Amino acid sequence: MTKHIKNIVIVGGGTAGWVTAGILASTLKKEVDSGFSITLIESPDIPIVGVGEGTWPTMRNTLKNMGIRETDFIKECNVSFKQGAKFSQWVTGGEDDFYYHPLVLPQGYDSINLAKHWVNHNGGQSFSNAVCCQEAICELGLAPKHMITAEYAAVANYAYHLDAGVFSEFLKKHCTKTLGVNYVSANVVKVNSASNGDISSLNTSLNTELFGDLFIDCTGFKSLLLGEHFNVPFISCSDTLFADRALAVQVPYENENSLIVSHTLSTAQSAGWIWDIGLSTRRGVGHVYSSRYISDDQAHQELLNYLKRSTVEAENLSFRKIAFNPGHREKFWEKNCVAIGLSAGFLEPLEASALLLVEISAQMIADKLPTNRTTMGIAAKRFNNTFSYRWERIIDFLKLHYCLNKRTDSQFWVDHRNPNTISDHLKEQLLLWQYQVPNDTDFEQLLEVFPAASYQYVLYGMGFNTEPNSLGISAQSQQVAADHFQQVATQKKEHTSTLKTNRELLNKIYQYGLQRV
């Protein structure tokens, strides 16, 4: 039990496997002298699922810490800039029904909660348009930075849209050539157990045995180690989040100068929603829906109807169907095995939480890596507690997008308002927020996956009503808020007149590259 943890084996590649490998390798190279090894074994026969092509802003720091140039990443992974999401027809289903969840925090967020001032007097402006400049930037298709802005720096906070398959290969090359990750292309044919119940080794299709001290399961929905070997139960949340299918398609641009949208477009349908993201070379579009409320053929037709608005020959495109059961494992770290990515769970593509969970899971393992087997149980317990909480809060946040709708055109939307489908925790928060605006102190952890600002954008974007404080707001606080609202107006004017479009900036980056940090 005092065995030192030196050899880490990652089973499964794809985005989850290679992001995990990169985070572990780059962190350990900085923190320890030598004596550790990271090996990734990947099946040559299993295609990458590639459910999501959107990231959170955290990916900027992740790539920077790996020693990757943002210019190289953008050029090689068909990347474009993402500044949040625009939700269309989620509230009433009307053509003029939309709101934004931008990636910029409300102005002065660290010193003042502008939401309570907006609640008192919004002046007819949407919440996101009143408290930050990003909605205005996105509506014009503008980029979040200038050509002279250094790599990973921002004028407006941003994440990425990327080609998941190409991204995996890009990370594989960097991890193996620069970060020293060992790579094995083979199938795992047997999982061998030690006397204490740990995984001792893996037999491969190359007739080799791969030993390790810590095994990381990145085998996707199969969950080869945590699910199949350790039989850790899966907890479905299909009674809360109804979507269980996705139809994905790659859509070519009309021409090389077509506008690249600066955010994810999320357009509600009769029993789900359609994502539409613009990469530098194509669009990635998909219909997420519930098979309980709509047939595959009907979902396909709704997606075709959407595509025909901008694509003449939509019927000739290649569609891929992905079935999933929304939920997660009962625990994520068992013995000397921890699951990351789809092997740990998957909810749905909304808000790009899948890649975010990969990043923060891998980073916690890297930061809290036990030095020996004796302390691994402590690390596992803390990891499980942390991520059980995080999965529960993500489920609540995704449900928030559905349960506040006012649509009556389909049972899917009506049923999402049923209190029996909403967690007690979220119902309690919604009751609280009827009388006071969301604040970070409403949550249990200092570092929430989605802060109070994200809840504010969704709540007030969907028309949620918080009663103004009966005690009123002091003149001093009103003046501070007025100054911040004016700063937002000034920023809008400046940024919308000086920032280039996504397409223009990406073309310049391809030609000249961004300045090194």
Please write the tens of the pLDDT for every residue from 168-199: 999 999 999 999 999 999 999 999 999 999 99
Question: What is the identity of the amino acid at 382?
Answer: R
From residue 505, give the alpha-carbon distance in Å to each of 79, 105, 184, 499, 512.
12, 23, 38, 9, 10
CA-CA distance, 262 to 315, in Å (whole number)?
Answer: 26
Residue 75 has pLDDT above 80, yes or no: yes
CA-CA distance, 511 to 174, in Å (whole number)?
Answer: 22
CA-CA distance, 12 to 16, in Å (whole number)?
Answer: 8
| Tokens, residue 413 | 């939307």
Check: CB of residue 410 under 8 Å from CB of residue 369: no
Is residue 201 exposed (0-12), middle (13-18) or buried (19+ Cβ within 10 Å)? middle
Please write the tens of the pLDDT for every residue from 345-370: 999 999 999 999 999 999 999 999 99
**pLDDT computed for residue 446 by the predictor:** 74
State the chain's maximal CA–CA distance in angstroms: 76
Residue 122 has pLDDT above 90, yes or no: no
Provide the H-helix boundaries in 370-445.
376-403, 411-416, 424-433
Q: What is the mean pLDDT of residues 321-339?
A: 97
Residue 481 has pLDDT above 70, yes or no: yes
Across the chain, mean pLDDT equals 95
| Three-state DSSP state, 388 | helix
Check: CB of residue 227 under 8 Å from CB of residue 234: yes
The percent of residues in the chain predicted with pLDDT above 90, rounded, is: 90
Q: Which domains does the chain have, with CATH numbers?
A: 7-50+163-238+326-391 (3.50.50.60), 245-323 (3.30.70)
**pLDDT computed for residue 121 by the predictor:** 84
Q: Ramachandran region of residue 147, left (φ > 0), alpha (ψ -120 to 50) or beta?
A: alpha
Place of tokens 């600002």: 453
Residue 285 has pLDDT above 60, yes or no: yes
CA-CA distance, 24 to 26, in Å (whole number)?
Answer: 6
Chain centroid, CA 63 distance in Å: 15
Residue 469 has pLDDT above 90, yes or no: no
Please, which pLDDT band fits residue 49 given cuts at 50, 70 and 90?
Answer: low
Q: What is the mean pLDDT of residues 251-266?
A: 93
CA-CA distance, 415 to 64, in Å (whole number)?
Answer: 43
Check: CB of residue 332 under 8 Å from CB of residue 383: yes
Please write the tens of the pLDDT for every residue from 205-228: 999 999 999 999 999 999 999 999
Please write the tens of the pLDDT for every residue from 404-462: 999 999 999 999 999 999 999 999 999 999 999 999 999 988 788 999 999 999 999 99
Check: CB of residue 25 under 8 Å from CB of residue 179: yes
| Tokens, residue 157 | 């906070």
**pLDDT computed for residue 50 by the predictor:** 52
Residue 33 has pLDDT above 90, yes or no: no
Is residue 416 exposed (0-12), middle (13-18) or buried (19+ Cβ within 10 Å)? buried
Please, which pLDDT band fits residue 8 given cuts at 50, 70 and 90?
Answer: very high
Check: CB of residue 70 under 8 Å from CB of residue 63: yes
Read off the pTM: 0.96
Place of tokens 């990916």: 59
Residue 2 has pLDDT above 80, yes or no: no
Q: Which is nearest to 62 in space by CA: 104, 101, 31, 18? A: 18
Place of tokens 């009309």: 254
Please, which pLDDT band fits residue 516 given cuts at 50, 70 and 90?
Answer: confident
CA-CA distance, 21 to 443, in Å (whole number)?
Answer: 31
DSSP 8-state assignment for residue 501? B
